[in-house]
Amino acid sequence: MILRMLTLAGGLAGTAATSQFPEYSQQYAQRLGGAVDALAEVVADFDASAAAVGLDRQAALAQMTGTAFLDRRRADMTATFQRHARLEADLRALDGQGPFMRAYHLPRLTDSQIARAAWAAYQPAVPLSPAGLIFAVFGFVAGGGLVGAFLRLLRWPFRRRSAPANPA
């Protein structure tokens, strides 16, 4: 009886967690768009400054040497260009997608800064959409199944062994 209750609790925990994914992933996608826009401004400003003196991006970066500050600034700008390219690709993959395709593209929801900001602003709610209901059912089955399997694994060494058949 206790094992069934623990399995049910696992199912309910899975329900609570996965039913929130559609809304959280939408919040993440919105913040992703804002981050891409902000980084695009920085990239465009750098490229415009480089073009104003007749350089492309790579040539401008190559000239940023000679002092600790310039070396550090070159490394920062290189990281900014890389992050912008990665986030822009993530946004293209997620743009206009529903919750099931956002779940399919889950590895694209992994930028730590955006995830932290989305989580900080996120308010859990009762899922009233069909997608939220489907995620809730999946979470219930997955959570209950995982807890049930874990409990069976824990009980396995203690199960009773059946007596050998008596040959007569």
Confidence grade of residue 163 (pLDDT, cut at 50, 70, 90): low
pLDDT tens, position by position, 82-93: 999 999 999 999
pTM value? 0.69
pLDDT in tens, 45-62: 999 999 999 999 999 999
The answer to whether the beta carbons of residues 59 and 50 sit under 8 Å apart is yes
Cα gap 105→93, rounded to integer Å? 8
